[in-house]
Chains A and B, each alone.
Chain A
Amino acid sequence: EIVLTQSPGTLSLSPGERATLSCRASQSVSSYLAWYQQKPGQAPRLLIYDASNRATGVPARFSGSGSGTDFTLTISSLEPEDFAVYYCQQRSYWPPLTFGGGTKVEIK
């Protein structure tokens, strides 16, 4: 099973700042990594698939990069609606499909 480790656990930032979230895989997942956003009481939302492709309707301030075992989700300038929990997920070697433990982006 591929284990995904996200860091940091919590990121405290102010609106307008840049957010950099990390996801590390226990073995190479090539580029088969996705990012999801989840707000309290809501279902997750797909943001990025295959490491760097924005899903439909996702603002350009969200970008993904990386390959192999190290990946990054960057939010270039935080908007108030971006404060949420973010999960990475791999589809390289499955079953099982696995998620990281999440990074909470909170208002500083």
Chain B
Amino acid sequence: EVQLVESGGGLVQPGGSLRLSCAASGFTFSSHSMSWVRQAPGKGLEWISYITSDSSTIYYADSVKGRFTISRDNAKNSLHLQMHSLRDEDTAVYYCARDPTMTRGNFDCWGQGTLVTVSS
């Protein structure tokens, strides 16, 4: 069974840092690009970062560029999002999502999400 499981969310003060992880199983992780997508409470979906299977290409949304860093460890089937200088508006559920490869830029499998709350 294809599975993505996020972890690392929690309560953090404005200006703080947090590292999210996503554990992948049930598929060849090293063959797929991956993304992080977030959803603020009661709001819509926002794509924030993308990384190719070999980490050679990385993209960020303007809203997180310079503050967030995406990375992956194919040997450990894991995806990460290092978040610095967190702001109130970064409060959201963060999902990792798999790129189906044949249609690059879609999301065919999602984790259950991890909640990040930025508040003093």
Residues of A within 8 A of B (CB): 32, 34, 36, 38, 42-46, 49-50, 55-56, 87, 89, 91, 94-102
Contacting residue for B104 out of A55, A91, A99, A102, CB 8 A = A91
Q: Which B residues lie within 8 Å of A49 (CB)?
A: 100, 103, 106, 108
Q: Which of B7-15, B23-31, B43-51, B75-83 contacts A (4 or more CB under 8 A)?
A: B43-51
Q: In the complex, how many angstroms separate the beta carbon of A102 from the nearest chain B beta carbon? A: 5
Distance A34 CA – B35 CA, assembled complex (angstroms): 16
Q: Check B16 for interface membership: any CB of A closer than 8 A.
A: no
- Contact flag A34-B44 (CB < 8 Å), given A43-B112, A96-B61: no
* Chain A residues positioned under 8 Å from B111 (CB to CB): 43
- Extra 18 A-B pairs, beta carbons < 8 Å, given A89-B107, A91-B103, A98-B47: A32-B105, A34-B103, A38-B45, A43-B110, A44-B45, A44-B110, A49-B103, A89-B45, A89-B106, A91-B104, A94-B59, A94-B105, A95-B50, A95-B59, A97-B47, A101-B44, A102-B44, A102-B45
Cβ of B95 and Cβ of A99 under 8 Å apart? no
Q: How far is the CA of A92 from the CA of B107 in the complex (A)?
A: 14
Query: Which residues of B are found within 8 Å of A94, using beta-carbon distances?
Result: 59, 105
A43-B95, A43-B113 known; A99+B46 contact, CB < 8 A = yes
Q: How far is the CA of A36 from the CA of B37 in the complex (A)?
A: 13
- Most chain A CB atoms below 10 A, which of B35, B100, B107: B107
In the bound complex, do residue B106 and residue A46 qualify as a contact, i.e. CB atoms below 8 Å apart? yes
> Nearest CB to that of A93 among chain B residues?
B105
Within 8 A of A (CB), among B68-99: 95
